[in-house]
Structure 1
Amino acid sequence: MDEIDVKILRCLKNNARENASVISEKVSMSVSAVIERIRKLENSGMIRQHTTIIDQVKAGKDVTSFISISLEHPKYIECFTNFVKDNKEILECHYITGDFDFMLKVVTNSTQTLERVLNQIKSVNGVKMTKTIVILSTVKNEYSVDPEEILK
């Protein structure tokens, strides 16, 4: 990784569809050199994927919440994680430290839908306790690390 890679990552972070010729102008390299560097970043795993971010409000998904989950016993982890993987309204699931075992990010179209998802979660074998926080507004929402921080 060098400064050129960081500049390329910054360009792709801002717009994953940005053309290699546009990036080449921004980093003062040939198009073929930029394409080769992008391939190396992909092959090394530094770039995991190129994706489209859908505006959840425009998609009718107005309610975002974080749900903390506590399980009765670690033997229920597999059952719980299988449920999570099958639920499209759960966007993120993190195994965490502290008073709870998992933290979920859930996006639904209404509080009624959130209630349904919460009741489904509570029905999963081994779920002992939940705590739900509804997001009123979001001040910052980054989807990946800042490329400038990589070389520090």
Structure 2
Amino acid sequence: MDSIEKKPDAIDRKILEILRKDARIHLKELSRHIKLSLPAASERLRKLEQSGYIKGYVAILNPQKFNKEFTCFCMVEFSHHNIDYDRDFVEFVKTCPDILECHRIGGTYEYMLKIVAHSVKEVEQLIDVMRIEKRVINTSTITILTTIKEEVTISPE
């Protein structure tokens, strides 16, 4: 059984840390950083991808460049607890480009959303749609004033 199928070793974690900071690094440069041949580095990377340690590669877009100046977290509570409401709401969330994250949570609220929009007015309209069409009875919105730290992925340690 391959070591990557169990748990990433020190070399695998170094690969993951490098990719975490620069997913566009050339394989040749990656192999030099981890002190392995190009084929060995390529094979390790392939195994990390196949085993699910690497979910994918993305470009992180700057919301301000798209005039999306308003970021908030919004907690959502349904009027009734119903599995069909959940399914309908989840499908709605998946199709809404301003909702970047959706987490099912415990407590009074069912879901927590991270929303990035052009304005408070857009968020207000989104909440109105959820209340009218998605059986949302209560929301609590927390406005982000300044982001101090925002990681898009975890550390492999």
Give the alignment partner of residue 136 of structure 2, picking from 127, 131, 134: 127
The residue number in structure 2 matching 1:112 is 121
- How do 1:90-109 and structure 2 match up within 5 A? 90-109=99-118
1:142 partnered with 2:137 = no
CA positional deviation for 1:83: 1.4
Amino acid at match of 1:70: E
The residue number in structure 1 matching 2:87 is 78
CA positional deviation for 1:144: 1.2
Partners of 2:81 and 2:56 in 1: how far apart?
32
The residue number in structure 1 matching 2:46 is 39
Question: Structure 1: which 4+ aligned runs deviate by more than 3 Å?
Answer: none
Unmatched tracts of structure 2, length 5 or more? 1-7
Q: How many residues are treated as equivalent by the alignment?
A: 148
The residue number in structure 2 matching 1:28 is 35
The residue number in structure 1 matching 2:60 is 53
Supply the RMSD in Å over aligned alpha carbons. Answer: 1.1
Aligned with 2:17: secondary structure?
A: helix
Partners of 2:124 and 2:135 in 1: how far apart?
19
Partners of 1:125 and 1:6 in 2: how far apart?
42
The residue number in structure 1 matching 2:9 is 2
The residue number in structure 1 matching 2:3 is none
1:56-104 Cα deviation digits (max 9, x unpaired): 1112111111000011223211121121112111111110011111000
CA contact (8 A) 1:67 1:130 kept: yes
Identity over aligned pairs, percent = 38
| TM-score normalised by structure 1 residue count | 0.93
Unmatched tracts of structure 1, length 5 or more? none
The residue number in structure 1 matching 2:4 is none
